[in-house]
Amino acid sequence: MEFISNLKEKITEGVTDLYGQEIDEKLIQIQNTRKDFTGDFTVVTFPLLRFSKKSPEQTGEDLGKYLTDNIEEINSFNVIKGFLNLELSQNFWLDQFKTAWQNENFGIRLPDKNSKTVLVEYSSPNTNKPLHLGHIRNNLLGYSIAKIFEANNNKVIKTNIVNDRGIHICKSMLAWQKWGNGETPESSGMKGDFLVGKYYVKFDQEYKKEIQQLISEGKSKEEAEQNARLILQAREMLRKWEAGDDEVVALWKKMNNWVYDGFDVTYKKLGVDFDKIYYESDTYKVGKELVLKGLEKGKLIKEEDGSVWADLTNKGLDKKILLRSDGTSVYMTQDIGTAYLRYKDYQFDKHVYVVGNEQDYHFKVLKIVLEELGFPWAKNIQHLSYGMVELPEGKMKSREGTVVDADDLIADMVSTARQISQELGKLDGLSNEEIEKIIHTIALGALKYFLLKVDPKKNMVFNPKESIDFNGNTGPFIQYTYARIQSLARKAAENKLDTESYQKEKLNLDTKEVQLIKSINKFAVIVSEAGENQNPAIIANYVYELVKEYNQFYHDFSILKEENEDLKRFRLQLSVLTGRVIKQAMALLGIDVPEKM
């Protein structure tokens, strides 16, 4: 902000003029004034005491008088315990407001030719089950982080890795072979990912029966789990797949294609997309080659059984398996291959993996192994670790079929949004087509906002009904305020009211109006902060506070009925700009806002 640079310069001059001392500008600390004090910016005087040789309070008084005399934008000052609070003039804030109004992309720094390339990986589904509530948090978080990075002058590549190989899909394939009777998505009327997930659950049910049978025959639990007929058959199927068995590969392709079609439907409902999708069935081969090269160079070790490991004990970690004794790959192997291919494709400056916190150790190891294999770009890998999401009823388990599938949850959200909207009469007088579109916008806005307003690092409980409340810190509350502003703008347009032609010299603003301008002005700083912290909750909670302030302003002041023409036009412009910032902020969360509601 230009004013801050000017303020630092004047403080430097002030210390020289007042105390005959030269100071390094780095010593000057300026922060936003806390809400419970009067002022806009606060100068911390403590680092300046060695130059003034005076108390913090007296230093603040000296400097406050100097700055008020030398910076016309400063209206007044006060000193509290060595903190110099500066209050800026109405004209300063009106100038800031004008700058924001004239900038269509206010608060956003779009990518340019000098932008850095950032890859954001999210979703990362397995092809043995539909996307569920945990995946929803992942997808929404990843998509929002990508939008926020882009708004901070980065070229962003949104990427996905589909875990389409391994024992998990073989379990579904085997169960379908045994009990499917040729069932397909078309014959069953079931989405492909739901159908494949059904057989994953079936495998687990039958596998548990076999385990219990073996235990009753005198085997230990561990022996039973390792030697049950079904798990041995699934492992054999995986071995055949890696060996390229035609029949197994054909079944694998067929069932995975069912799942891909199902995923695409869900992604479209969620409003998320990807610039590039990688598949584990391709990347694990590259990872395997890199591991074998690392072994040749002495970077890795081979055990007597033929398995290949990374020994990280000198890094304070343990040994990590990269290839099993039968030569098959593990997750780490494919992640090595995927990272290598991504750098080859995009030469990224940063690679952010949006993955749950249960994988913290995995990504710590991945980074070190890539560095050990000789890839300097590995230092640019980051893990955006987030907490688990549960429903009020508790945890979910895929194998037992107790997961809340994403499609079912979205359908429930739409149903709840429809019911509440009807009860409140929010959509009376609109056409059926308009109503359906708005209901879906409300439902998805409620879902996304509720999941994104919580700091990603925290575990959370998602309460569907609480999320669709039209009051409080919710998506619908913010959407409704935006729609209210658009209604105001439409009425102004009908009355041919010009928002541009007020004279600022004739305005005498209330403190609440100035406060709303200040809140709008924070948007650029908030976007930057959300990018630095990789945290959409910063945006979510900012826009909620902005909306609360606007609603208070809307309640306390006349807008279209204001008799003072300059004030009427200013308040209308203030409303329209607030709406623009709301829309921009919600877009960074991947949330649409309805023009009517």
Q: What is the pLDDT of residues 390-449, one digit of tens each?
A: 877 755 454 444 568 899 999 999 999 998 888 888 788 888 899 999 999 999 999 999
Q: Which of 64, 88, 112 is the last residue of a domain?
A: 88
pLDDT digits (tens, 9 = 90+) for 139-159: 999 999 999 999 999 999 999
Residue 233 amino acid letter: Q
- When comparing pLDDT for 264 and 36, which is higher? 264
Residue range of the domain that includes 23: 2-88
In the sheet that holds 301-302, the strands lie side by side as 301-302, 308-311, 319-323
Domain assignment present for 213: yes
Q: Give me the pLDDT at residue 2, please.
A: 82
Q: How far is 219 from 382, CA to CA, in rounded Å?
A: 44
Domain assignment present for 437: yes
Domain assignment present for 114: no
User: ∠ at Cα 492 (487, 495), nearest 5°?
Assistant: 130
> Given a cut of 90, is residue 505 above it in pLDDT?
no
Q: Which of 30, 64, 88 is the last residue of a domain?
A: 88
pTM: 0.91
Q: Nearest to residue 420, comparing CAs of 380, 379, 388, 466?
A: 466
**Cβ contact 28:12 at 8 Å:** yes
Q: Give me the pLDDT at residue 402, please.
A: 53
> Given a cut of 70, is residue 344 above it in pLDDT?
yes
Domain assignment present for 399: no
pLDDT digits (tens, 9 = 90+) for 350-390: 999 999 999 999 999 999 999 999 999 999 999 999 999 88
Beta carbons within 8 Å of 404's beta carbon, 6+ residues apart: 132, 133, 391, 396
Q: Which of 32, 63, 88 is the last residue of a domain?
A: 88
Based on the fold, state whether residues 459 and 521 are members of the same structural domain: yes
> Given a cut of 60, is residue 63 above it in pLDDT?
yes
DSSP string, 113-127: TTPEEEEEE----BT
- When comparing pLDDT for 195 and 35, which is higher? 195
Tally the domains of the chain.
3
CATH of the domain at 418: 1.10.730.10
Q: Nearest to residue 151, comparing CAs of 586, 458, 595?
A: 586
Paired strand residues for 383: 353
Q: Give me the pLDDT at residue 399, please.
A: 45
Q: Give me the pLDDT at residue 394, please.
A: 56
Q: How far is 15 from 11, CA to CA, in rounded Å?
A: 6
Helix (H) or strand (E) holding 313: none
Based on the fold, state whether residues 142 and 265 are members of the same structural domain: yes
Mean pLDDT value of segment 533-545:
98
DSSP string, 151-217: HBTEEEEEEEEEB--SHHHHHHHHHHHHH-TT--HHHHT--HHHHHHHHHHHHHHHHHHHHHHHHHT
**Cβ contact 275:159 at 8 Å:** yes
Domain assignment present for 595: no
**What is the rounded average pLDDT for all residues in the chain?**
93
* Helical ranges in 22-75 per DSSP H: 49-52, 56-70
